[in-house]
């Protein structure tokens, strides 16, 4: 952020996150911007940044895909109406300069920024916003490209479905003027404004739809700081500076290249040799080495996820809460963090990340205590052993860099308390499908936040409506359900926070899962990279970044 | 192809017609003869030694090490080779030597079962094709063609994807991709041996087809099949390691060597021993089988010599 | 005149020549093209001819080791071309064959014991003990020590192997033995041993031989009557002395003259034939020999001469003698 | 010859149909739903269901196969379920990358393997023979992924001589024309890029080429030994010809056919084996493309990838067969 | 008297195999005089081919090695007689001689030509190696030589491949290659064994013609005494790596002395008369090296006595030029002075 603070006084519901974290991050941001302006380094001649990552983008039509690698690129090309703060989920102005909420959260009016053009030269206006939202909502819309297999699942999730569905909240979108647009909801939605900050709801040039049709996924045209140049699949995506960017003097970089290097160690080698500037997916064990290397720096991302070990409550003996609690004492999260994350994770006691609104810090975590666990197991009637399958996913996830290794660690923990866990792994697709169908005993999985709203965690992981679906523990508690429903529809921040805290207490007692860790994803980069602030949501625009000599 | 005018045969001078020096009444079976040949082949002996070494290791694994291959020890992560940990420790602090030793069991088992499976099915199909000819041959040969036109590792990956990743399924996949290799060999052997004059002689005596097949054709096709099976051991172990490397084989904490390699890949910089030893073990075992296979080929089939 | 033991009438064997990817038939090798002859009990009928003229094919086809394309084979008054598989299989007891290549015709993985007792087993002769005894017996008969039964073929020399081959043919007491160049592969000093052995056995067991060879002196030595083949056909068939003293067919004449004689005093005038034997897949029109015949006439190029009896028991297929 | 080629091409049809059928059946036997993978663990069942419908995944599988084959007949490889991109256009850069790597590996394997084999046979039982055959034996026993890792560790990471990943310098991307980087750098008149691209090929190429190199060396040697023992070589020697002419002109030309066969077969192995090498060296090739598609249940991509690889393989062997006729006048069709 | 062009003295060629040392050629001495045809006969494995390969320097090494003796090649060079020992001569010089002054044809016409090169190429290769000629001249020489060996359509056949020719034609091509540089000595290793009698007659005829017209000395290796009678002036009979008898062709065939030669001739079935029973030599041809002491023929010899098993008989000269290796003739003949032979 930094410049042109929005007038957000009239919208009272925006200070998400606990106060202390937001303060801290603000301080850091200030420091870095100070350094920026003072410029105690000279700029490198070549201002092309190479960002190396493990996988390629799936599509550059951001709304049709959910993977982080895609949005990492589209963040640079596209912009949404609102924008998250540089280091938190606090929203501020984006393509909309101002916004107002009416009718208890049933009507929103946005004043759009003037003088903004898309990369193809066409003007950004209210009509463009309407077309984009309608395209996502209406499967029959000419730019929905349903025949080509496009769906916009995030839209469906965030706005309760699509046009014609019962739960779909956006009733109508009205263009009030060239740069004024109104959204009318049929039901209040606590997270509406948060959603507007998500990169999934960025705005594409309508002319580009006209021109490229369903090939829009390979020909992105937005308003962002960088323009798309080329994409060679599984290799690199090349972006160049948008000279006409509305934010005067930005971006600093001349171009960005997203380079795919699947192998972790090869990526690190490339960083060391200067072939790349930033790399994602660092092996936590290498952090120490990098920190001792004067030419390299570590960038930590604030945690925004949960990795957990879930029980299948529909299956014996895991319907026994005593057993679940006993097993909660058996897992040594600290070791897990040392071994797998090289310390770059926080042990979890709740399912939402600590920086989230409503995080209940007063919960007393189940301590690692094998003796106690054995005792409790004995009490629960499993004194002479227990054997089950421990399902683990085959692929690294942001919350779990090496799930199979993690399973091995937990297997060993469990063995210590006389429980035999057989590790079962299967392909990712199968894993997801079969856990959704409840074929597992105990499974490992996690969840990442997208818009910074706690409902996204609770609603998907613990609400009985999410069976079958994200609720793979088959946890159903009427009290929890009703608390969550209340919280979801409320627009009162404090009320919501209180409700969520209550939920966490019940869940802690019921123990449908063992919360493991909130991982802190780290990136490594060259010291030359300045003003790079990783965002919680896995990606961030590189508008302010510049390369030093 | 050209029609070759039959050439009158003169017994050729050369080693194959040479009578071994032996006492008048001693009877030397071709197998015994091959065994003698094998004993003279230094490389084959080295190979045999390597394999016996690994077999011993596999059998006596629990006596060779005081560590467990699965108990982790976070305190001793990524220790270099030392007197305490001969081959160092991995990222979970487990003794790599112990894991290698137990891994020998897996690799040898994989080789054995995959080869046996491929051999049984391949031979069965190959015999069907070679002996019945015509459309049976046509059909089976086309199936082999098709299977061989797939890159085998891809086929194996697909099969494991269907069955789910596990050591057992990797084994099945490897057996399947090796079926056409054995099948073709057996088929061509059956066909070529059917042309031999002693088969004609057997027929001339009024021997039934079944007896000809089992008493004459098959025993004589055995040599190249044994050779292929030995070499196949090596290939199967490599393929299993490749699947393990891709995460499609043995599941943790099974100390499968390919899997160990892929798990320790990222430590190649900081702890190269984690990568060095599993790879070296794979190579040695495979090398051992290849050496024996080469030796057997030379010993069993003088014409294929060199 | 006695009834023949074996009567071959119009025997033909065409091998298909396949080509292309779909293995279609693109032609035929007329390996044996209408051959007729008779073999009498106790006689040795020699068949000579150059390489590829169809001698072996004739021998194998009349035993139905190769299914003949056409023609009849009457053995002991029974048309064996009509027999079903099982009946034919049992018939093989009476009709045996000895092969040219002593190295290829014995299964390298069987002991001599097994090689020799197998025919007995197949035809259900004797029990285990008796078979063992018989094997020793036959080995002694062919001039090998009985204890060699426990050896493998590769432990024998070429001549010894051929003895085993003969023993195998002999052990079931056949009436007829087709000998397909049994001595061609052997050294001169061994050749005479085997020839003698075969002659002895014939007398001893009252055997009938169809003796195939390309060496005219060998055939002459052993046969009573001799047939000369050229390109799948019988050119001339006559009693031994008759053929050598009075060859009719120009091919027979040149063949006889071409044999180098080890006696330096007997230098005969040679009829050296021009050119090569034509390919049996594309035989010349008319008389197959006309392309090389020193006495070729116009008619030879068009009409295939009949195989006719020219004088008593002397058959020839040549236009020179067709008028008579 | 032409008719032979045509017949061989016609013969391919049943093989390719068989292959496509097998592929299609296999990938549909694989449990797991593409819609699920595309949407990930955070997707709702409704979203998955909707996507399934849009992708036509709820149709009976033979209908899907029929549709796919209809498209294939029109030269359309279909659309990737995941990226929505047309596979026909998307696959080429991957394919080119793999082909370039495979050719490089094969050229390496052939040059080194053939010469080592020839010299070993020529100087049979010499020190050279023993060492090169021992190396070849080790070569065939080598897990290539391990070799790749070691190469990377030694030459890229420790010595820093060669690049560890990718096809070129990301800072100076090759302007693609054909997608064969070596060729493209020449077309663009960029010798520096040619050198860079070449350097990038070395490590993966050597890793990939090691097994075929070893196999070719062994095959060349044994084939040469047989040829060198043959009568016609003795004839050439009896003419007083120079040894080099004997060994290379007469010897190798006669020994080349089994070697060619191996080259043909190994190319197939290379195309498949590229999966491992491509993963280790971050090579954006078709092996990885298909491998990832398997993980994502991207049926059309798996199907097309395998068909394309197999077709190339079958064609290479056709070319090998045609080469035989060129080398050996006895072979005619 | 004619001079010897090639003189083999006490040649020993052994094979060193994993079954031990095999003395394939064990002390063989023969001479070939200018323009004559020398026959070498013997049964399979007696060392005929190895002897001829030794002359050409083509014994496969390993496992074969010439371990003793000398091979003297004499030629006139500018009125000067020059003698070279082919065993010790430099490799390069040997290559200059072979194919040029000493040529060889082999037993198997079907496999002795390189199947991948045209007939013309294979003749030209020999010509160009030894003569400075242009491409065109070489081709003309090739055609001429093909005509010389009686190949019809020589102009076309030059450009054909071996597989397009029959066995007889190929053997003619082989002879054409051998004759391409007009050698002084032609070594023919069983040139007709693989051929049919009618074709054999053609080839023998051709070789006789070449011998007569070009004066090429021929070393004719065969196991067929008929061929010997037909072709040769002198014969050496070999048994188990040794020459057992040598002399002019009439003497050997009509009045053989060595029991082996006698047995060999008697065991042949005769074309002219029909005997009831053939003579036969008992036993088998021994493997070289299997009999270490005594006469190698002794175990099969009807005349053998104790000494035969204990001592190795020496070569005895019986009459002028007729030598025999047998104790039976010790009184009749003189011991051939081996040193004198070697020195001449
Ligand atoms: N199985 C077969 N398929 C095709 N052609 C064959 C087959 N067997 C033999 N022939 C051909 O039939 C012809 C006659 O062959 P056959 O073996 O009967 O000749 P032969 O007179 O016995 O010759 P040889 O003296 O060389 O043994 C030859 O041209 C041969 O190529
Ligand atoms: N490459 C070799 N390795 C080992 N021994 C060999 C080799 N070549 C020949 N010999 C031995 O040398 C002996 C003589 O062989 P040679 O080829 O000279 O016999 P030959 O008289 O030409 O017989 P043939 O009539 O069969 O051609 C053979 O018995 C054989 O044992
Ligand atoms: Mg024959
Ligand atoms: Mg020879």
Provide CATH 1.10.3720.10 ranges for chain D.
93-332
Q: E108 in contact with D at a CB cutoff of 8 Å?
A: yes
Task: Please report which helix (H) or strand (E) contains residue D223, including its range.
Answer: helix D191-228
Chain mean position to CA E164: 29
| pLDDT band of D332, cuts 50, 70, 90 | low
pLDDT at A502: 93
Q: What is the average pLDDT across A492-503?
A: 89
- CB–CB of C229/E167 below 8 Å? no
Ligand 4 mean position to E46 CA, how many Å? 8
pLDDT at A72 over 80: yes
Contacting chains of E (3 CB pairs or more, <8 Å) are: B, C, D
Query: E277 vs C199: CB contact, 8 Å cut-off?
Result: yes
Q: For helices B218-245 and B152-163, give the axis angle rounded to 10 degrees.
A: 70
Which region among A469-473, C315-319, E60-64, E324-328 has the lowest average model confidence (pLDDT)? E60-64
pLDDT at B18: 39
pLDDT at D200: 92
A382's tokens: 């499993």
pLDDT at D257: 86
Q: E114 in contact with D at a CB cutoff of 8 Å?
A: yes
Model confidence pLDDT, tens digit, residues A203-214 = 999 999 999 988
Q: What is the average pLDDT across D109-129?
A: 92
Which has more pLDDT, E297 or D43?
E297
Torsion (CA) A134, A137, A141, A145 in degrees, nearest 10:
120
Cβ of residue C117 lying under 6 Å from some atom of ligand 1: no
For residues C194 and C163, give the distance between their C-alpha atoms in angstroms, rounded to a whole number.
7
pLDDT at A24 over 60: no
C-beta neighbour count of A509 within 10 angstroms: 11
Which of these, A65, A147, A232, B161, lies nearest to D297 by C-alpha position?
B161
- 3-state SS track over chain E: CCCEEEEEEEEEEEEEECCEEEEEEEEEEEEEECCCEEEEECCCCCCHHHHHHHHHCCCCCCCEEEEEEEEEEEEEECCEEEEEECCCCCHHHHHHHECCCEEEECCCCCCCCCCCCCHHHHHHHHHHHHCCCCHHHHHHHHHHHHHHCCCCCHHHHCCCCHHHCCHHHHHHHHHHHHHCCCCCEEEEECCCCCCCHHHHHHHHHHHHHHHHHHCCEEEEEECCHHHHHHHCCEEEEEECCEEEEEEEHHHHHHCCCCHHHHHHHHHCCCCCCCCCCCCCCCCCCCCCCCCCCCCCCHHHCCCCCHHHHHCCCCCEEEECCEEECCHHHCCCCEECCHHHHHHC
* Domain residue extents for chain B: 33-304
Q: Which residues contact A30 (CB under 8 A, 6 or more apart)?
A: none
pLDDT at A55 over 90: no
Phi, psi of A391 (to 5 degrees): -85, 135
Burial of A521 (0-12, 13-18, 19+ CB in 10 A): buried
Which of these, E49, E54, E50, E64, lies nearest to E6 by C-alpha position?
E54
For residues A93 and A197, give the distance between their C-alpha atoms in angstroms, rounded to a whole number.
9
Burial of E335 (0-12, 13-18, 19+ CB in 10 A): exposed
C268's tokens: 């005969």
Q: What is the average pLDDT across A103-109?
A: 88
Segments of chain E with pLDDT less than 70: 1, 274, 332-344
- CB–CB of A38/A223 below 8 Å? no
Facing residue for E129 by CB, picked from D241, D253, D254: D241
Question: Residue E208 falls within a domain, yes or no?
Answer: no
> What residues 113-172 of chain B have any CB closer than 8 A to a CB of chain D?
142-143, 145-146, 148-154, 157-159, 161-162, 164
Model confidence pLDDT, tens digit, residues A340-355 = 888 889 999 999 999 8
Cβ of residue C273 lying under 6 Å from some atom of ligand 1: no
pLDDT at B141: 87
Which region among A501-515, B93-107, E283-297 has the lowest average model confidence (pLDDT)? E283-297
| pLDDT band of C5, cuts 50, 70, 90 | very high
The domain in which residue E318 lies consists of: 261-270+278-342
For residues D35 and D54, give the distance between their C-alpha atoms in angstroms, rounded to a whole number.
10
pLDDT at A22: 37
- CB–CB of A47/A514 below 8 Å? no
D227's tokens: 């040829």
D242's tokens: 């120079």
Q: Domain C6-94+174-321 maps to which CATH number in 3.40.50.300, 2.40.128.20, 1.10.1740.10, 3.90.1150.10?
A: 3.40.50.300
Q: Which value does ipTM take for this structure? A: 0.83
Question: Residue E15 falls within a domain, yes or no?
Answer: no
Which residue among E24, E42, E237, E240 has the greatest number of ligand 2 atoms within 8 angstroms of its CB, and so is best to mutate? Answer: E24
C-beta neighbour count of C307 within 10 angstroms: 18
Q: What homologous superfamily is domain B33-304 in, according to CATH?
A: MetI-like (1.10.3720.10)
Query: B1 vs D26: CB contact, 8 Å cut-off?
Result: no
Distance in Å, alpha carbon of B19 to nearest chain C alpha carbon: 6
Cβ of residue C111 lying under 6 Å from some atom of ligand 1: no
Q: How many CB pairs under 8 A join C and D?
A: 9
Domain D93-332 is in which class? Answer: mainly alpha
* Domain residue extents for chain C: 6-94+174-321
pLDDT at A28 over 50: no
| pLDDT band of D43, cuts 50, 70, 90 | confident
Which residue among B7, B9, B13 has the greatest number of ligand 2 atoms within 8 angstroms of its CB, and so is best to mutate? Answer: B13
- CB–CB of A242/A227 below 8 Å? yes
Q: C57 in contact with B at a CB cutoff of 8 Å?
A: no
Ligand 4 mean position to E43 CA, how many Å? 9
For residues D266 and D260, give the distance between their C-alpha atoms in angstroms, rounded to a whole number.
10
Task: Please report which helix (H) or strand (E) contains residue D313, including its range.
Answer: helix D299-327
Q: Which residues contact D130 (CB under 8 A, 6 or more apart)?
A: none
Q: What is the mean pLDDT of chain C?
A: 88
Q: Which of E182, E199, E218 is the last residue of a domain?
A: E182
Cα–Cα distances (Å) from D32 to A64, B162, B168, D292, in that order, read 20, 9, 20, 14
Which of these, E40, E130, E125, lies nearest to E94 by C-alpha position?
E130
pLDDT at A442 over 60: yes
Specify the ligand 2 atom closest to the Cα of E223. Answer: 25
| pLDDT band of A69, cuts 50, 70, 90 | confident
Model confidence pLDDT, tens digit, residues B134-163 = 788 888 988 888 888 887 888 888 888 888
- CB–CB of C197/C166 below 8 Å? yes
Cα–Cα distances (Å) from E213 to A218, B60, E37, E131, in that order, read 86, 82, 13, 22
Which of these, C36, C47, C38, C46, lies nearest to C5 by C-alpha position?
C38
Phi, psi of D262 (to 5 degrees): -60, -40
Q: What is the pTM of this model?
A: 0.85
pLDDT at B262: 85
Question: Residue E253 falls within a domain, yes or no?
Answer: no
Specify the ligand 1 atom closest to the Cα of C13. Answer: 12
pLDDT at A235: 87
- CB–CB of A92/A77 below 8 Å? no
Positive/negative CA dihedral, C171, C176, C179, C180: negative
For residues E191 and E180, give the distance between their C-alpha atoms in angstroms, rounded to a whole number.
17
For residues A131 and A134, give the distance between their C-alpha atoms in angstroms, rounded to a whole number.
5
| pLDDT band of B89, cuts 50, 70, 90 | confident
Burial of C2 (0-12, 13-18, 19+ CB in 10 A): exposed
Question: Residue E73 falls within a domain, yes or no?
Answer: no
Residues facing C73 on adjacent strands:
C8
> Count of domains in chain E?
2
CA angle E141, E145, E146 (to 5 degrees): 120
Question: Residue E114 falls within a domain, yes or no?
Answer: yes
C-beta neighbour count of E279 within 10 angstroms: 15
pLDDT at A517 over 90: yes
Q: What is the mean pLDDT of chain A?
A: 85
For residues A179 and A124, give the distance between their C-alpha atoms in angstroms, rounded to a whole number.
9
Q: What is the average pLDDT across A483-506?
A: 88
Q: What is the average pLDDT across D249-260?
A: 88
Which of these, B14, C53, D239, D124, lies nearest to E112 by C-alpha position?
D239
Q: B272 in contact with A at a CB cutoff of 8 Å?
A: no
C-beta neighbour count of B286 within 10 angstroms: 27
For residues B188 and B190, give the distance between their C-alpha atoms in angstroms, rounded to a whole number.
5
Q: What is the mean pLDDT of chain B?
A: 82
């Amino acid at each position: 952020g930094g410049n042109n603070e929005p007038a957000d006084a009239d919208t009272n519901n925006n200070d998400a996150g606990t106060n202390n974290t937001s303060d801290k991050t603000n301080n850091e941001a200030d420091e870095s911007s100070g350094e920026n302006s003072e410029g105690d380094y000279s700029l490198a001649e070549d201002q092309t940044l190479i960002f190396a990552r493990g996988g390629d983008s799936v599509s550059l039509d951001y709304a049709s895909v959910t993977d982080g690698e895609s949005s990492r690129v589209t963040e640079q090309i596209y912009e949404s109406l609102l924008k998250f703060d540089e280091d938190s989920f606090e929203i501020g102005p984006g393509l909309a300069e101002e916004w107002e909420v009416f009718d208890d959260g049933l009507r929103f009016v946005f004043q759009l920024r003037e003088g903004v053009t898309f990369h193809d030269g066409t003007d950004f206006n209210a009509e463009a916003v309407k077309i984009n939202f309608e395209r996502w909502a209406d499967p029959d819309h000419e730019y929905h490209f349903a025949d080509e297999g496009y769906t916009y699942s995030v839209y469906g999730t965030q706005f309760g479905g699509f046009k014609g569905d019962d739960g779909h909240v956006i009733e109508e979108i009205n263009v009030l003027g060239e740069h004024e647009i109104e959204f009318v909801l049929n039901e209040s939605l606590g997270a509406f404004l948060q959603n507007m900050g998500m990169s999934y709801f960025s705005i594409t040039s309508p002319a580009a739809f006209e021109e490229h049709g369903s090939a829009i996924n390979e020909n992105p045209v937005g308003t962002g700081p960088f323009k798309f140049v080329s994409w060679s699949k599984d290799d690199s995506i090349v972006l160049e500076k948008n000279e006409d960017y509305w934010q005067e003097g930005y971006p600093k970089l001349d171009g960005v290249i997203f380079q795919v290097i699947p192998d972790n160690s090869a990526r690190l080698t490339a960083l060391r040799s200067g072939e790349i500037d930033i790399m994602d997916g660092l092996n936590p064990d290498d952090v120490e080495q990098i920190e001792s290397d004067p030419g390299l720096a570590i960038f930590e991302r604030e945690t925004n996820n949960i990795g957990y070990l879930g029980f299948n409550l529909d299956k014996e003996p895991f319907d026994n809460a005593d057993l679940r609690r006993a097993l909660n004492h058996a897992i040594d999260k600290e070791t897990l963090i040392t071994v797998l994350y090289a310390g770059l994770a926080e042990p979890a006691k709740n399912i939402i990340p600590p920086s989230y609104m409503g995080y209940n810090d007063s919960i007393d975590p189940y301590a690692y205590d094998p003796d106690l666990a054995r005792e409790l197991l004995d009490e629960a009637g499993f004194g002479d052993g227990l054997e089950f399958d421990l399902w683990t996913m085959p692929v690294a996830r942001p919350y779990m860099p090496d799930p199979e290794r993690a399973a091995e660690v937990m297997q060993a923990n469990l063995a210590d308390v006389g429980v035999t866990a057989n590790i079962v792994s299967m392909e990712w697709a199968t894993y997801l499908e079969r856990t959704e169908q409840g074929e597992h005993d105990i499974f490992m999985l996690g969840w990442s936040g997208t818009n910074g709203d706690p409902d996204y965690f609770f609603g998907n992981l613990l609400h009985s409506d999410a069976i079958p679906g994200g609720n793979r523990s088959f946890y159903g508690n009427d009290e929890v359900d009703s608390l969550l429903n209340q919280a979801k529809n409320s627009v009162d921040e404090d009320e919501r926070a209180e409700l969520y805290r209550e939920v966490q207490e019940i869940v802690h007692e019921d123990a449908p899962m063992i919360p493991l860790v909130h991982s802190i994803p780290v990136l490594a980069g060259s010291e030359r990279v300045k003003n790079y602030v990783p965002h919680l949501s896995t990606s961030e625009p590189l508008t302010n970044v510049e390369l030093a000599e | 192809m050209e029609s070759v005018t039959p050439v009158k045969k003169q017994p050729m001078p050369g080693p194959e017609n040479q009578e071994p020096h032996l006492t008048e009444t001693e009877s030397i079976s071709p197998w015994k003869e091959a065994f003698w040949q094998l004993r003279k082949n230094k490389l084959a002996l080295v190979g045999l030694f390597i394999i016996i070494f690994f077999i011993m290791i596999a059998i006596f694994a629990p006596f060779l090490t005081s560590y467990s291959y699965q108990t982790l020890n976070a305190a001793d992560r990524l220790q270099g080779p030392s007197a305490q940990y001969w081959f160092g420790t991995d990222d979970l602090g487990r003794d790599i030597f112990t894991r290698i030793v137990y891994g020998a069991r897996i690799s040898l088992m994989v080789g054995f079962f995959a080869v046996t499976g491929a051999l049984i099915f391949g031979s069965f199909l190959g015999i069907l094709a070679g002996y019945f000819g015509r459309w049976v041959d046509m059909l089976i040969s086309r199936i082999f063609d098709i299977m061989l036109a797939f890159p085998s590792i891809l086929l194996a990956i697909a099969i494991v994807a269907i069955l789910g990743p596990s050591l057992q399924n990797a084994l099945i996949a490897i057996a399947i991709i090796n079926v056409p290799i054995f099948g073709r060999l057996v088929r061509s052997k059956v066909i070529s041996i059917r042309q031999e004059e002693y088969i004609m002689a057997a027929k001339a005596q009024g021997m039934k087809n079944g007896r000809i097949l089992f008493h004459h054709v098959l025993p004589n096709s055995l040599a190249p099949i044994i050779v292929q099976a030995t070499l196949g051991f090596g290939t199967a172990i490599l393929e299993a390691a490749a699947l393990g490397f891709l995460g499609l084989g043995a599941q943790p904490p099974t100390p499968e060597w390919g899997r160990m390699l892929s798990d320790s890949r990222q430590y190649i910089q900081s702890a190269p021993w984690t990568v060095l030893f599993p790879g070296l073990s794979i190579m040695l075992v495979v090398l051992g089988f290849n050496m024996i296979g080469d030796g057997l080929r030379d010993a069993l089939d003088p014409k294929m010599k060199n | 005149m006695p009834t023949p033991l074996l009567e071959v009438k119009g025997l033909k064997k065409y091998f298909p020549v396949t080509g292309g990817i779909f293995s279609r038939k693109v032609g035929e090798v007329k390996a044996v093209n209408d051959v007729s002859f008779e073999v009498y009990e106790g006689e040795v009928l020699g068949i000579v001819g150059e390489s590829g003229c169809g001698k072996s094919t004739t021998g194998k086809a009349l035993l139905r080791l190769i299914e003949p394309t056409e023609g009849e084979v009457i053995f002991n008054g029974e048309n064996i071309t009509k027999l079903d598989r099982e009946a034919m299989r049992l018939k093989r007891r009476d009709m045996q064959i000895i092969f040219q290549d002593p190295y290829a015709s014995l299964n390298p993985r069987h002991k001599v014991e097994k090689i020799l007792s197998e025919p007995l087993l197949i035809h259900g002769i004797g029990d285990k003990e008796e078979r063992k005894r018989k094997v020793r017996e036959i080995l002694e008969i062919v001039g090998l020590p009985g204890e060699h039964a426990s050896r493998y073929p590769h432990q024998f020399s070429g001549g010894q192997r051929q003895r085993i081959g003969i023993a195998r043919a002999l052990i079931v007491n056949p009436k007829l033995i087709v000998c397909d160049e049994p001595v061609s592969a052997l050294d001169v000093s061994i050749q005479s041993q085997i020839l003698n052995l075969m002659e002895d056995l014939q007398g001893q067991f009252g055997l009938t031989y169809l003796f195939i060879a390309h060496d005219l002196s060998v055939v002459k030595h052993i046969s009573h009557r001799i047939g000369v083949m050229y390109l799948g056909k019988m050119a001339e068939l006559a009693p031994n002395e008759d053929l050598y003293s009075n060859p009719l067919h120009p091919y027979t004449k040149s063949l006889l003259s071409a044999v180098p004689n080890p006696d330096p005093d007997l230098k005969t005038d040679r009829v050296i034939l021009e050119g090569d034997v034509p390919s049996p897949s594309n035989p010349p029109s008319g008389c197959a020999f006309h392309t090389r015949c020193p006495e070729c006439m116009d008619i030879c190029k068009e009409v295939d001469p009949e195989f006719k009896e020219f004088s008593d028991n002397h058959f020839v297929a040549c236009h020179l003698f067709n008028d008579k | 010859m032409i008719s032979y080629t045509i017949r061989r091409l016609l013969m391919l049809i049943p093989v390719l149909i068989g292959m496509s059928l097998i592929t299609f059946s296999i990938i549909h036997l694989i449990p797991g739903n593409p819609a699920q993978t595309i949407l990930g663990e955070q997707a709702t069942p409704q979203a998955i269901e909707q996507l399934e419908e849009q992708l036509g995944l709820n149709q009976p599988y033979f209908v899907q196969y029929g549709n796919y084959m209809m498209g294939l007949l029109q030269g359309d490889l279909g659309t990737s379920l995941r990226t929505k991109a047309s596979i026909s256009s998307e696959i080429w850069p991957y394919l080119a990358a793999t082909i370039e790597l495979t050719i490089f590996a094969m050229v390496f394997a052939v040059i080194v393997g053939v010469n080592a084999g020839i010299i070993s046979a020529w100087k049979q039982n010499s020190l050279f023979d023993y060492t090169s055959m021992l190396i070849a034996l080790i070569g065939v026993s080598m897990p290539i992924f391990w070799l790749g890792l070691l190469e990377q560790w030694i030459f890229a990471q420790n010595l820093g001589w060669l690049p560890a990943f990718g096809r070129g310098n990301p800072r100076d991307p090759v302007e693609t024309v054909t997608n064969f980087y070596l060729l493209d750098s020449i077309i663009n008149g960029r010798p520096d890029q040619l050198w860079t691209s070449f350097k990038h090929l070395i490590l993966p190429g050597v890793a990939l080429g090691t097994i075929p190199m070893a196999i070719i060396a062994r095959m060349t040697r044994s084939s040469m030994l047989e040829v060198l023992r043959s009568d016609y070589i003795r004839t050439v020697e009896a003419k007083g010809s120079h040894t080099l002419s004997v060994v290379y002109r007469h010897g190798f030309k006669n020994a080349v056919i089994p070697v060619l066969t191996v080259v043909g077969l190994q190319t197939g192995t290379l195309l498949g084996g590229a999966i491992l090498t491509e993963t280790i060296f971050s090579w954006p090739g078709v092996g990885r493309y298909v491998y990832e598609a398997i993980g994502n249940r991207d049926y059309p991509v798996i199907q097309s990838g395998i068909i394309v690889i197999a077709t190339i393989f079958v064609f290479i062997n056709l070319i090998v067969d045609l080469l035989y006729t060129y080398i050996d006048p006895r072979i005619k069709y | 008297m004619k001079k010897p062009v090639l003189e083999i003295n006490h040649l020993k060629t052994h094979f060193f195999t994993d079954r031990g040392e095999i003395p394939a050629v064990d002390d063989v001495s023969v001479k070939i005089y200018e323009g004559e045809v020398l026959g070498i006969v013997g049964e399979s494995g007696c060392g005929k081919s190895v002897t001829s390969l030794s002359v050409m320097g083509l014994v496969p090494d390993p496992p074969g090695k010439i371990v003793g003796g000398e091979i003297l090649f004499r030629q006139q060079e500018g009125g000067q007689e020059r003698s070279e020992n082919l065993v010790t001569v430099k490799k390069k010089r040997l290559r200059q001689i072979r194919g040029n002054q000493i040529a060889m044809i082999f037993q198997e016409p079907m496999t002795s030509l390189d199947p991948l090169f045209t007939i013309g190429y294979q003749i030209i290769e020999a010509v160009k190696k030894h003569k400075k000629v242009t491409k065109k001249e070489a081709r003309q020489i090739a055609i001429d030589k093909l005509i010389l060996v009686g190949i019809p359509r020589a102009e076309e056949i030059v450009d054909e491949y071996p597989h397009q020719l029959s066995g007889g034609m190929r053997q003619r091509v082989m002879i054409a290659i051998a004759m391409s540089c007009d050698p002084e000595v032609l070594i023919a290793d069983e040139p007709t064994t693989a051929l049919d009698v009618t074709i054999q007659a053609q080839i023998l005829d051709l070789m006789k013609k070449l011998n007569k017209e070009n004066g090429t000395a021929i070393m004719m290796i065969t196991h067929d005494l008929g061929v010997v009678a037909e072709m040769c002036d002198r014969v050496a009979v070999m048994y188990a790596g040794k020459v057992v008898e040598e002399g002019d062709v009439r003497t050997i065939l009509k009045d053989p002395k060595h029991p082996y030669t006698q047995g060999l001739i008697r065991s042949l079935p005769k074309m002219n008369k029909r005997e009831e029973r053939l003579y036969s030599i008992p036993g088998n041809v021994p493997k070289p090296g299997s009999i270490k002491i005594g006469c190698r023929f002794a175990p099969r010899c009807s005349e053998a006595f104790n000494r035969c098993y204990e001592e190795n008989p020496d070569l005895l000269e019986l009459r002028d030029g007729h030598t025999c290796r047998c104790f039976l003739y010790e009184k009749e003949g003189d011991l051939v002075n081996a040193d004198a032979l070697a020195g001449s």
